[in-house]
Amino acid sequence: MAFPLVPAPLAFNPDGVLWSPDYRDVYHSCHGGPEQARHVFLGGNDLPARWRGRERFVILETGFGAGLNFLTTWAAWRADPQACSRLHFVSLERHPFIRSDLRQAQARWTEFAPLAAELNASWPLPVPGIHRIRLDGGRLLLTLVLGDARQELRRLMLAADAFYLDGFAPDKNPELWTPEICKAIARLAAPGATLATWSVAGHLRAALSDCEFALEKRPGFAGKRQMLVGRYLSRKPHPYPAPAPAERHVIIIGAGVAGTSVAGELAGHDWQVTLLEARAAPGQGASGNIAGVMRPLPSVDDNFLARLTRAGFLAARAHLERLTAAGLPVRWGTSGALQLARDAEHEAAQIKAARALAMPEEFLRHLDGNAASALLGWPVRRGGWYFPSGGWVQPFSLCAANLLSHPERIHLCRNTPVSAISRANGMWRADDANGKIIARAPHMVMASGVAAPRFAPFSWLPQRSARGQVTWLPAEATPPLDILLCGQGYVTPPVDGVRVVGASYQLDDAADELRLADRDENLSKLEALLPGFCARIVPKGLHGRVGFRPMSPDRLPIVGAVPYAPNAPERLLHHSRHPPMYPGLWCVQGFGSRGIVWSALMADFLVSRMIGAPLPLPHDLTRAIAPERFLPTGARVRGGG
């Protein structure tokens, strides 16, 4: 379970240096923070020389603090005409500053003012987990890991080229300088990785030497006599990542929110994308509703579903904000979202979860019945979870915006149903019903929703189709309601004069006609949420829509490399550690009713896997969504990689 984060207090010592009252230590040298960062961390890792000519360079820092090392590195990278194409900066922090305090802490470093302003604009709430912050036009990715480094370092999946070992002094913060931390760092080291730190403590040197780092003392900064640098000498194969593919052309099957999100992400990494859509326009399948729900789903034990919906919700919000800032035509609203309790037992569980998680009130709080009624402007029987930054999204507008984010590298083929896929001579091909080749590429991503199991490599996946019917209500026929309300059903704020009410749920039901029984069920759910709200509604003549959602047995997404089916030849299935994978075949499936919440995060995750970049999910969640989790026990992956 994620522990509640305690933000760092903003304080300065008598010399005006940023200070931690809790750890009784300064955040940087009194002789100059930027100068210390340049001398110890950039100089100690031989930067900028080592990132020059590289496509990607990865830095891992053990303590973000106020971001001084990050800003100094960003400025040096930006000023270097030979810098790597993309810089990944991964940093851990147990006690992050809140946005206003971070702004004030960084205000003293005027040389970084424009960079600090850009960082501050994207600074996340103090919510546990991995936050991906895209800066400098997307060329710089800050992966901010909010949590205890002792746990989070063991769960990260990346290969770091350089380490900044920073934090409060070993005698002030001993848990950040232990042999266990050093082992976790070595696990994440790419071949030849370097490290630098201002500490030369004997126990630290011994622990790093035991982890196969060759160490050297160099002159320290200002009044400090020595600092420590090192190079990783181990020749053990690194489990992650795979080399970046040389050929960057991919076929994506399906242009819903899943497929278009992956298309936009890959195109942003300079891939050529051929996107095949069976219908006349993107987002006409499960992504075709007028409006859909955007909110997380907490739990008292902070289980996989809770953590994935939290991470997905935050990633979706960030993605929507980027699209909007770019002037792209995505439609969404931050009306706030309220999830009412079903009954007294459920409300007690909601209250318990809210207290245990102790999230910032801007993210989650529980409202009692009176407060919920006041928020809604309508009397309700019970309270519920309130997500102030929740809201609605129009899925097909999100699809359009994703495709317009990099139109020069995305080729959309409409009215192009795919009947079969196959691989030969290192290339994947998609064929039509007559066996004619539609497209060929070295990589393929299956994002076709409920249609995926029709294709041979996916026939074994236990994904099922869930029919869902929504009902459209004319807003003028209902009382005012400007918030997204959820419970056993949901109702949206007006979008183009229409409220969306839903949704029915029938497994393995392929009927696509509207049903009166489902319409009445939706209205009944709304009446249970808001007694009397439907008084002026005349059911006859109401319209709606039917969609089919791809459901996994555990209600989690199915995203990653695709293993050979369980009935593949025995020679392919005898591996005990890792199941064999189809070369270049990937899938982003099983979103169910959470396509909006998961699409941006899963696109980032899948593309990071494909190109070998640091993952935006920890090890346990990577395993939880892996397609191979459905293989027979003997053939499953044992490391999530």
pLDDT > 60? residue 528: yes
Spell out the residues 6+ positions from residue 123 whose beta carbon is closer than 8 angstroms to its own. 99, 102, 133
Which pLDDT score, from 0 to 100, does residue 286 have?
Answer: 81
Residues of the chain with pLDDT > 90, as a percent, come to 89
Which pLDDT score, from 0 to 100, does residue 568 have?
Answer: 60
Mean pLDDT for 505-517 is 95
Residues 159/188, Cβ–Cβ less than 8 Å: yes
Residue linked to tokens 């009410």: 501
Which pLDDT score, from 0 to 100, does residue 458 have?
Answer: 95
- Half-sphere exposure (Cβ direction) of 576: Cα atoms closer than 13 Å: 0
Helix (H) / strand (E) element for 587: namely strand 581-589
> Hey, is 123 helix, strand or coil?
coil
567 pLDDT tier (thresholds 50, 70, 90): low
Identify the residue with better confidence: 83 or 541. Answer: 83
pLDDT (tens digit per residue) in 272-326: 999 999 999 999 988 889 999 999 999 999 999 999 999 999 999 999 999 999 9
Which pLDDT score, from 0 to 100, does residue 569 have?
Answer: 55
Peptide bond between residue 282 and the one before it cis (omega within 30 degrees of 0)? no
Which pLDDT score, from 0 to 100, does residue 30 have?
Answer: 79
pLDDT (tens digit per residue) in 342-394: 999 999 999 999 999 999 999 999 999 999 999 999 999 999 999 999 999 99
pLDDT > 70? residue 14: yes
Nearest to 601 by CA among 210, 230, 232, 312: 312
Which pLDDT score, from 0 to 100, does residue 241 have?
Answer: 64
256 pLDDT tier (thresholds 50, 70, 90): very high
Residues of the chain with pLDDT > 70, as a percent, come to 96
pLDDT > 50? residue 575: no
- Helix/strand/coil percentages in the chain, nearest 5: 30, 25, 40
pLDDT (tens digit per residue) in 159-192: 999 999 999 999 999 999 999 999 999 999 999 9
Mean pLDDT for 433-439 is 97
Helix (H) / strand (E) element for 121: namely helix 113-121
Instruction: Looking at the structure, give the CATH architecture of the domain made up of residues 19-232.
Output: 3-Layer(aba) Sandwich (3.40)
Bridge partners, residue 491, by sequence: 485, 501
328 pLDDT tier (thresholds 50, 70, 90): very high
Is the pTM higher than 0.85? The answer reads yes
79 pLDDT tier (thresholds 50, 70, 90): very high
Mean pLDDT for 400-405 is 98
pLDDT (tens digit per residue) in 217-233: 999 998 789 999 999 99
Which pLDDT score, from 0 to 100, does residue 19 have?
Answer: 92
Instruction: Looking at the structure, give the CATH architecture of the domain made up of residues 249-285+397-463+553-635.
Output: 3-Layer(bba) Sandwich (3.50)
Which pLDDT score, from 0 to 100, does residue 356 have?
Answer: 94
Which pLDDT score, from 0 to 100, does residue 222 have?
Answer: 86
Which pLDDT score, from 0 to 100, does residue 632 have?
Answer: 76
Mean pLDDT for 579-605 is 95
Identify the residue with better confidence: 576 or 479. Answer: 479
Measured between alpha carbons, how far apart are the two ends of the chain, in Å? 22
Q: Give whole-number Cα distances, 105 to 67, 113, 115, in Å.
A: 9, 11, 14
Which pLDDT score, from 0 to 100, does residue 634 have?
Answer: 47
Residues 637/579, Cβ–Cβ less than 8 Å: yes
Which pLDDT score, from 0 to 100, does residue 574 have?
Answer: 46
pLDDT > 80? residue 242: no
Q: For the chain, which residues make up each domain, given as ranges?
A: 19-232, 249-285+397-463+553-635, 335-391+465-550
- Half-sphere exposure (Cβ direction) of 412: Cα atoms closer than 13 Å: 24
pLDDT (tens digit per residue) in 81-132: 999 999 999 999 999 999 999 999 999 999 999 999 999 999 999 999 999 9
Nearest to 66 by CA among 208, 166, 199: 166
For the chain, what is the mean pLDDT? 93
pLDDT (tens digit per residue) in 19-59: 999 999 998 887 888 999 999 999 999 999 999 999 999 99
Q: How far apart are CA 151 and CA 180, in angstroms?
A: 10
pLDDT > 50? residue 641: no
Domain 335-391+465-550 CATH superfamily: D-Amino Acid Oxidase, subunit A, domain 2 (3.30.9.10)
Which pLDDT score, from 0 to 100, does residue 565 have?
Answer: 75
Which pLDDT score, from 0 to 100, does residue 633 have?
Answer: 65
pLDDT > 90? residue 260: yes
